[in-house]
Structure 1
Amino acid sequence: MSDARILYKFMPYDTLRLQSLIQGYFWFSQISDLNDPWEHQLKWPTQMTFDDFKAFVSHISQLNGHKRREEAIKAILAVAKQSADDQNETLNMQLVKWKENFRELLERPLIFSASAAWNNPLMWAHYCNGHTGFCLGFDSAEILLGEHADDAWYEMTYSDSRVDVIEEIHGNKSPSIEDTDNMVGKALVTKAHWWNYEREYRKLDWEPSKENKIEINYSGLKEVLFGLKVSDESVQTIKSILGIKNPDICYYKVALSKYNNSFLFDRELV
């Protein structure tokens, strides 16, 4: 759940984004569209022991209910009866199969991201086309309308290592497929430590439809910030679009700090 009161959506200034503001929608993103190649990648073992196999089967069965638990017991007993050579072959084949199944599972959810940091120059450089874009500051509880309005925000964890499958299956006793306490959920809200400047929060859509647009709640839009290199004309265009949606929005232009020795930004009313 988000502890951040205001979350920011960074956007480049282009026709597509202007059209989305006029029509009042954001997009959920597919995993494959995200900019981190390590997104959703689990740490898998190179080989699996019989104990690992039992733990994995038990872990999966808890995700799928009583019927799967009965199937799990049968699967464990069947492998237990095999010779050592046959057992190793079965375990290696099962490891390959599980890798593929979990890859598909982890690619299923759609993601909507926002940030708790408006004043980091890297965010403006990376997500606002070199400081020529803008960002929208929303009340985190009022950013969306429709079925996803009340979905939880998940704060990203920044780590030096990927989520370890073996550690998870031996250590997690009550997984749930849509719970970020299990290895699937953890993988979706864990990124490498060098992304920590983003201070990212996410909403996850576990049952995506073909339509990945989500309606903006303009009453929750509290402020708009413009990048250092945004033209006056672009500022007026954004203000004319959003002023109709919510006349109480505050508008700021990002500025180099005049009062301290940091490399973070200040902001000035426009």
Structure 2
Amino acid sequence: MHFYCISTALQASIVESKEMLESSSVLLFIVFVLLFISLLFVVLIRKNGTAALIWHEIIKEKITNFIMNQSKERRILNFVLQNAVRGDPCSVMETIDKYCSEKEWAMNVGDVKGVILDKTVEEINPKVALELGTYCGYSAVRIARLLKAGACLLTVEFNPEFAAIAKQMIEFAGVQDKVKLLEGPSEVIIPQLKKKYEVDTLDFVFVDHWKDRYAPDTILLQECSLLRKGSVLLADNIIFPGAPEFVKYIRNNPRFQCSTYPSYLEYMKVQDAMEKAVFLG
């Protein structure tokens, strides 16, 4: 009887150990699968623009906003206010680039394509420039720092929160005397530029707002006689997220001479490009 009890206990122990082993194997398999999926997702984020934007703009940003009860754009501004040098546009740009490359991705033109923007502005030396899509004010600061005395940048932003943040960013950078921020939809503001804002023609236009507005607003600029012979448009993100209608329109229009500048999506290794279009009149 005693031997039987021991034997039964031993069998039960073996069965229990086997079950535990099987459970451990299943757990290890699940962990392995999760790690593999995580690794695959990390690779996708680095190489695939769509996956990267889904992660940064939808998943990560929404979670962080909820936890901190604060928008990403406000966090960018606060980081600049705490770490950049007041009145120094280059310090402001470098601080934004640091935040967006190390902490949270954001849709600024960035430091890589920013060089293309710089060279274009320096080449044109505009007296009157227009930016469509201010966001947090990064590119407005970048453009304004290169403008000569008496020159002006008009920058258009539809989102009231972004406009408020950009205004503080521009003032902190010390370029507020060269920048006029216009809040509202581009299709409403563009027809007002001549009468309300006393614009004759534009020397330079930086196009970096809603991608489906690129083509319509380019057409609107022509209809409102805001482009002169030699006016230059520079459009960002023509590959990713992409502006196919704009590219098709501008490259097939004999009134524009186009050049493409291959580059990368801001703060990523995802292929992108900028399109430069010179208005021939």
TM-score by length of 2: 0.22
Higher helix proportion (structure 1 or 2): 2
Which has the larger strand fraction?
Answer: 1
Q: Given the two structures, how large is their TM-score scaled by the length of structure 1?
A: 0.23
Higher relative contact order (CA 8 A, sep 6+): 1
